[in-house]
């Protein structure tokens, strides 16, 4: 039977215990290895959602939330992570699947799939942002987990680097959108390209911004479609 949102007996984790404090505390209580799960591309209106799961073997110097790192540092840490981790996995969810089942369901399913794809089973799972049911090990959802737990930060780096590389490749196929620069997120350049060219097959057509562009509508200066929706709004 799967167990989720399971908490070990209470313990105090000091604020100064660092990024590895949660893993150390869980290991002391017999929950090892610990898998961190995070995604990249939630807020984009083009390209895939990429989910990664990582179980670290030891500490990696300089590891942090991927959003706080430069592209060069992320690439460097990616090599360190995949080269030394106990196990890691990546799940890519294409825009068509997001359009079909919705962003949140795609995200939750991707987290389950990423954990299931690990070469060895985790003793505990830390997920970024929200709880995930149906996991086969105890788990805990962490607010801003990529900033407070090393394994989640590692997953954020692996997911971000994987997705960024994919968006650079997508830019070669559709150079008119500037995917290599903005990675599918809404920027002024991306808005102008959508207005001029309409969406490409790798845009998320369930997003209001993209759907309006497909209909030939004009978007506002802030990326909204005239009804107050931004790029993250979806048609349900």
pLDDT of residue 229: 34
The full set of domains in the chain, from first to last, is 15-169 (3.30.420.10)
Tell which residue, 58, 55, 60, 23, has the closest CA to residue 36: 55
pLDDT confidence of residue 231: 42
Cis peptide bond prior to 155, omega within 30° of 0: no
**Per-residue confidence (pLDDT) for residue 18, from 0 to 100:** 86
For residues 213 and 195, the answer to whether their CB atoms sit within 8 Å is yes
Q: Are the C-beta atoms of 94 and 48 separated by less than 8 Å? A: yes
pLDDT value for 227? 31
- Confidence (pLDDT) at 13: 52
Query: b/e string for 67-81 if b means 16 or more Cβ within 10 A?
Result: eebeeeebeebbeeb
Tens digit of each residue's pLDDT, the chain (236 residues): 444 455 555 555 554 458 999 999 999 999 999 999 999 999 999 999 999 999 999 999 999 999 999 999 999 999 999 999 999 999 999 999 999 999 999 999 999 999 999 999 999 999 999 999 999 899 999 999 999 999 999 999 999 999 999 999 999 999 999 999 999 999 999 999 999 999 999 999 999 999 999 988 654 443 443 333 344 445 43
What pLDDT does residue 178 have? Answer: 97
- The whole-angstrom separation of Cα 178 and Cα 26 is 43
């Amino acid at each position: 039977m799967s167990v989720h949102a399971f908490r070990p007996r209470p313990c105090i984790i000091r604020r100064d215990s660092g990024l590895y404090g949660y893993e150390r505390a869980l290991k002391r209580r017999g929950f090892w290895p610990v898998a961190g799960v995070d995604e990249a591309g939630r807020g984009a209106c083009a390209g895939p959602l990429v989910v990664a799961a990582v179980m670290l073997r030891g500490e990696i110097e300089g590891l942090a939330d991927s959003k706080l790192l430069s592209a060069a540092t992320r690439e460097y840490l990616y090599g360190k992570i995949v080269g030394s981790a106990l196990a890691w996995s990546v799940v890519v969810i294409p825009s068509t699947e997001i359009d079909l089942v919705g962003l949140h369901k795609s995200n939750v399913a991707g987290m389950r799939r990423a954990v299931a794809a690990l070469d060895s089973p985790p003793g505990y799972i830390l997920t970024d942002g929200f709880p995930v049911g149906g996991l086969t090990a105890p788990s805990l959802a962490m607010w801003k987990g990529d900033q407070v737990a090393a394994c989640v930060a590692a997953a954020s780096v692996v997911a971000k680097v994987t997705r960024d590389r994919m968006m650079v490749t997508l830019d070669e196929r559709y150079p008119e959108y500037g995917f290599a620069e903005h990675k599918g997120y809404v920027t002024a350049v991306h808005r102008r390209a959508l207005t001029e060219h309409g969406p490409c097959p790798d845009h998320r057509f369930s997003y209001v911004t993209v759907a309006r562009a497909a209909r030939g509508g004009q978007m506002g200066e802030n990326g909204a479609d005239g009804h107050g929706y931004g790029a993250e709004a979806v048609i349900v």
